[in-house]
Amino acid sequence: MENAFIKKETVRFQHVDYAGIVFYPRFLEMLNNLVEDFYAEALNLPFKNLHETGGIPTVDLKVQFKKAARLGDELTKYLWIKNLGGASMHCGFKFEHEDGSVCLEGEVTLVRVDFSDDRKSIKASAFPDDMRAKLEKYLI
């Protein structure tokens, strides 16, 4: 998928339930890991640095589970930007099995925020120009 950020992840024992398939909340953790990797690798802004003064909370999430994933499966995870706002980005994502079948897909909206010095208030904050330029590379 052109312009998508792509990462592979192997399903581990920690991801599965008694039936040996991924327990659905683990998929959301995998999605969060994908967003964290996107920030570190595509934007050169590891969460460690991002969270010193702000963050990128999820404000909307839609997921469709299409096919089970099992212990040992290798999934290819895709993340792309569908719409880039002033302080928000609406992203698409999907996880595929090695045979190309879709495991899950969905959309997530993330908003860039800044914290006050005492961290008692959180406020949406526009993407800086240099970050916006990097984000635009993933617009589809």
pLDDT tens for each residue of the chain, 140 residues long: 789 999 999 999 999 999 999 999 999 999 999 999 999 999 999 999 999 999 999 999 999 999 999 999 999 999 999 999 999 999 999 999 999 999 999 999 999 999 999 999 999 999 999 999 999 999 99
Structure tokens at 132: 């916006």
Report the predicted TM-score, pTM, of the whole model to 2 decimal places. Answer: 0.94
| Reported CATH class of domain 5-136 | alpha beta
**Domain spans of the chain, in order of start:** 5-136
Kindly list the distances between the CA atom of residue 101 and the CA atoms of 56, 88, 112, 114, 122, in Å, as whole numbers in the listed order: 30, 30, 32, 39, 40
